[in-house]
Amino acid sequence: MPEPAQRHAATHGFYHLEHSRISECACAGLACFAARADRPDRWQIAATQTPALYCLGKCYDAPSDGAHDGRPHVGQHASRSVLLGNVLRGGVRDLTAYRSGRSGGGGDALAMARQMAPQALVNLVQASRLRGRGGAAFPTGIKWQAVANAEARIKYVVVNADEGDAGAFSDRFLLEDDPFRLIEGAAIAAHAVGAQRGYLYIRKEYPQAAQVVSQALEQARSAGWLLPTFQLELVVGQGAYICGEETSLLNALEGRRPEVRPRPPQISARGLFGAPTLVHNVETLCAIPWIVTHGAAAYAALGFSQSRGTKLLSLNSLFRRPGLYEVDFGIRLADVVDQLGQGLRRGRLRGLMVGGPLAGIVPPALLDTRLGYEEMQAIDCAVGHGGMIAFSDDTSIANIVVQVLRFGSRESCGKCTPCHLGTPILAAMAQAAANGMPIDGSRFRRLIEALAETSLCGHGRGLAEFVQSVRRHYPSELQSWFD
Ligand SMILES: Cc1cc2nc3c(=O)[nH]c(=O)nc-3n(C[C@H](O)[C@H](O)[C@H](O)COP(=O)(O)O)c2cc1C
Ligand code: SF4
């Protein structure tokens, strides 16, 4: 039976946007919060609407809403263009045009890959030193090997297009402007690990992306580009940040409540419907066709230190030149701010939130840091999705922390106590402290420690580490919170 082109994730009253029309929503994400002074009316709607919507992927023109859209500036600043070729051309949404392109994919990579033994492909990706772009930076080749080694009749590849980290819109433009590259990357991965079926999960906040990908899948199917060896189906989310976490995403695809699964088992052994599963971020998979056509050594030659290849960065509207950029790893954050972004439109830089709300805020004094997974970790921050939200001095650090904790408590999946019960209390305490009211600092500290040490997943841990990192970098701002 042919698969339907599109279906929706099952709902159990857990999702926020089941009944919302995205075109009628305003965005309450952190990039819109950073720019709230630019369109106070729109921000007011976003801040008071129910349900709240966090991030429409339009951070380059914030505060944003579902009714307005425009294209961001797109800048190619890497020594070789791996990812943005077709985005720079304004998008390639037709299979014939894609196949006649010269952008390091075009279907040639899939044809080459299908001539290769699966293990040779796994070796190639290992040698490229590609690491997952979804946040955890796990080596892609090791994941492929684990799923390839698993013995099972059915295996799955899942594309994680949930891009929930406020401030990032890179996956959005890969989906909207280069859908065939993603499909090609997923099909190559499927061949390498021996998967016959796949799902592409796109968040509801990206309706245009879902439409483009749905049409691209139709074209790919009718051209016989994927079948008979690999079936890929589109599923559209219903608004829950935690569906970006891979085990939660698998539960959503199975029609269960999308809460995080304890591990073990690892999903490479028992994932979707109990079968070995490979989950990848959009940007990760989009790099695969280039690696296959240009070779592992060419890819590994890009970047620096343990972070090889190129990275997409999303710069928010507080920069003079906001937009989507491809860079080599190793670029200094100061160069991102001054050269790519061309500085701030107004005010002075208070901090740069890199990699989303769970990843920390880089203070101006640390802008000499070079972009790399270990280098960012060394300053208690992270590369994450590559979102870059500049905050100017019209926003206090305390208010950023309040926003992050509020977001975090709203998006808790409820599976573990420190996050489910702890985050609403922390958000309320932070709000009180930011308003100048006294709070029980030792309770705040204990709740943060419990969140850091006992959360089941990276959501709770990330929230705690975010607060701890901010406290370290801005010691005077949160002093009274921990007394
Ligand atoms: C709270 C949370 C949210 C996440 N959200 C996303 C997301 O929106 N997109 C994504 O690709 N990965 C997200 N991840 C990471 C995924 O769990 C997973 O590591 C990733 O999809 C694997 O793909 P990669 O190897 O290509 O990075 C999230 C993780 C956590 C803990
Ligand atoms: S930390 Fe939060 S999001 Fe993660 S499993 Fe626990 S309740 Fe769910």
Read off the pLDDT of residues 161-214 as tens digits, 9 standing for 90 and up. 999 888 999 999 999 999 999 999 999 999 999 999 999 999 999 999 999 999
pLDDT digits (tens, 9 = 90+) for 449-459: 999 999 999 99
| For range 366-375, the mean pLDDT | 98
pLDDT in tens, 429-441: 999 999 999 999 9
Q: In angstroms, what is the span from residue 412 Cα to ligand 2's centroid?
A: 5
pLDDT tens-digit map of 146-165: 999 999 999 999 999 999 88
Residues in contact with 305: Cβ distance below 8 Å, sequence separation at least 6, in sequence order: 329, 330, 370, 372, 374, 375
Per-residue pLDDT at 5 exceeds 50? no
Q: How far is the CA of 411 from the centre of ligand 2 (A)?
A: 9
- pLDDT tens, 297-333? 999 999 999 999 999 999 999 999 999 999 999 999 9
Residue-level pLDDT at 10: 39
pLDDT at 385 over 60: yes
As a whole-number percent, the residues of the chain with pLDDT over 90 amount to 86
CB distance 41 to 62 below 8 Å: no
Residue 2: the pLDDT is 37
The pLDDT value given to residue 20: 83
| Ligand 2 center from residue 54 Cα (angstroms) | 18
Q: Range with the lowest mean pLDDT among 17-26, 64-73, 418-427?
A: 17-26
The average pLDDT across 79-102 equals 92
Which atom of ligand 2 is least distant from the CA of 451? 1
SS3 content of the chain, % helix, strand, coil (to 5): 45, 15, 40
User: What is the rounded CA–CA span in Å between residue 20 and residue 418?
Assistant: 30
Give the number of whichever ligand sits closest to the CA of residue 247: 1
CB atoms within 10 A of CB 209: 24
Residue 16's pLDDT band (cuts 50, 70, 90): confident
Residue percentage of the chain with pLDDT more than 70 = 96
Write out pLDDT tens, residues 29-38. Answer: 999 999 999 9
Minimal-distance CA residue to ligand 2 atom 6: 416
Choice between 365 and 101, residue whose per-residue pLDDT is larger: 365
Cis amide linkage into residue 264, ω under 30° from 0 = yes
Q: Which residues does ligand 2 sit against, CB inside 6 Å? A: 242, 259-260, 412-416, 419-420, 455-457, 459-460
Shortest-distance atom of ligand 1 to CA 411:
1
Tokens of 76: 């190619």
pLDDT given for residue 13 in this prediction: 53
> Taking 50 as the threshold, does the pLDDT of residue 9 lie above it?
no
Q: Is the pLDDT of residue 234 over 50?
A: yes
The SS3 of residue 388 is strand
Give the C-alpha separation, 70 to 49, whole Å.
23
At 11 the pLDDT is 37
User: Which of 160, 188, 358, 419 has most ligand 1 atoms within 8 Å of its beta carbon, as the pocket-test mutant?
Assistant: 160
Atom of ligand 2 nearest to the CA of 423: 2
pLDDT surpasses 90 at 1:
no
Using the predicted structure, report yes or no on whether residue 289 has a pLDDT greater than 70. Answer: yes
Give me ligand 1 centre to Cα 131, in Å.
12
Full-model pTM:
0.95
- For the segment 331-340, the average pLDDT, to the nearest whole number, is 98
How close is the Cα of 459 to the center of ligand 2, in Å? 6
- CA 447 – ligand 1 centroid, Å: 25
- C-alpha 244 – ligand 1 centre gap (Å): 5
Lowest mean per-residue pLDDT among 51-55, 200-204, 231-235? 51-55
pLDDT for residue 445: 96
pLDDT, residue 117, reads 98
User: Helices 140-149 & 179-193, crossing angle to 10 degrees?
Assistant: 50
The predicted model gives 338-365 an average pLDDT of: 96
- How far is the centre of ligand 2, averaged over its atoms, from the C-alpha of 414 (Å)? 6
Residues with a CB atom less than 6 Å from ligand 1: 132-136, 138, 160, 162-164, 242, 244-246, 279-281, 284, 457-459
**126 contacts: CB under 8 Å, gap ≥ 6:** 139, 140, 141, 142, 144, 145, 296
At 117-145, the pLDDT tens digits run 999 999 999 999 999 999 999 999 999 99
Q: What rounded mean pLDDT belongs to the chain?
A: 93
Torsion sign (Cα): 443, 449, 452, 456: negative
Would you state the pLDDT for residue 107?
81
Atom 1 of ligand 1, residue of closest alpha carbon: 459
